[in-house]
Amino acid sequence: MDDDRLVAVVTGANRGIGKAITQQLLLQSSKPLIVYLTARVVDRGQQAFDELRREQLRGGSNALRQNNELRFHQLDVSDEESIRAFIDYLTLVHGEHSIDVLVNNAGGVVRQNDHIVRTCDAETAAQCVQMNYFTAVNMTTWAVPHMRRHGRVVFLVTALAHLGIFSGDLPRVLTSDELTLAGLHIIENGFVSSVGKGTYAAYGFPPMPYAVAKAGLIAYARMMARITASDPRGLLFASVCPGYVKTDMTGPYAPLTPDQGAETPVYVALTDSKRLQRHNGGLWKHLKPMKW
């Protein structure tokens, strides 16, 4: 078993906001910390690890003086066997309760011939919901039993996923204290099905697969805060909008850098839990809680 440093995991961390979050976790943590930079493709993850490690060594950063450590591990959040193997590794190295922070960053948009697909068809909707909603939920489901005391789970979402994009009963259902995981799955799968039938508008959905998937995560964070409220570990869940950040997904004209986009996720990941507890399950942007 490894030492008693805090353990943070960032998914999809080989580039963009995920890589910036990984770096800022190392630089800003006031407690000794191990950060797992994870990526689906080993070569890309190893390259990101090497780049961040060189920056640490070259800069003589506080992260090294505080005994913080960067580690790389392959993780494909769309593959349950990959998730299981990673969780098994963490429990072997760090003990049964092995995670202090999980940042669910992995996700993205559907691409075809290296171009973003902007149409709302059944195939695009299914892929987008799978890669942005179901993968993060599955990763969290595996991780939560192994979270430590005051552990926290952060979901990267988007301001596009606000309740105003939905109509009919959906806003009420998504914010209901009676919402279950099975019910949330039905909503996300129902969106995909209704897109295929051309009836999504009649059910209150917008033609925005990415936003619908991320709205599912916002509802999921709220739900998890509610159903774990009596857990003696005092777990925290949060959805974070990083802002309009310049990445491979958004293009070169977005106004924020990845480092700027990483500020709020890192703040939520590291701030004292007593300051965050009353906002458990909430949505954050610009270092502040915001109304969904």
Residue type, position 282, single letter: G
Distance, in Å, from the CA atom of 23 to the CA atom of 37, rounded to the nearest integer, reads 9
Instruction: Give the residue from 218, 210, 215, 214 showing the smallest Cα distance to 128.
Output: 210
The Cα-based distances of 106 to 128, 155, 241 in angstroms read 12, 9, 14
DSSP letter assigned to residue 96? S
Strand partners, 88: none
Are 38 and 75 in contact by the 8 Å Cβ rule? The answer is: yes
The Cα-based distances of 257 to 14, 57, 261 in angstroms read 16, 23, 6
The Cα-based distances of 69 to 4, 47, 52, 99, 147 in angstroms read 13, 16, 11, 15, 19
Helix, strand, coil percentages, rounded to 5, for the chain:
50, 15, 35
Q: Which of 210, 244, 253, 267 is catalytic?
A: 210
Are 169 and 203 in contact by the 8 Å Cβ rule? The answer is: no
CA dihedral 10, 82, 248, 15 (to 10 degrees): 40
Distance, in Å, from the CA atom of 215 to the CA atom of 138, rounded to the nearest integer, reads 16
Are 99 and 91 in contact by the 8 Å Cβ rule? The answer is: no
Strand partners, 289: 284
- Look at strands 115-116 and 111-112 and give their pairing: antiparallel
Residue 210 a catalytic site member: yes
* Residues catalogued as catalytic: 210
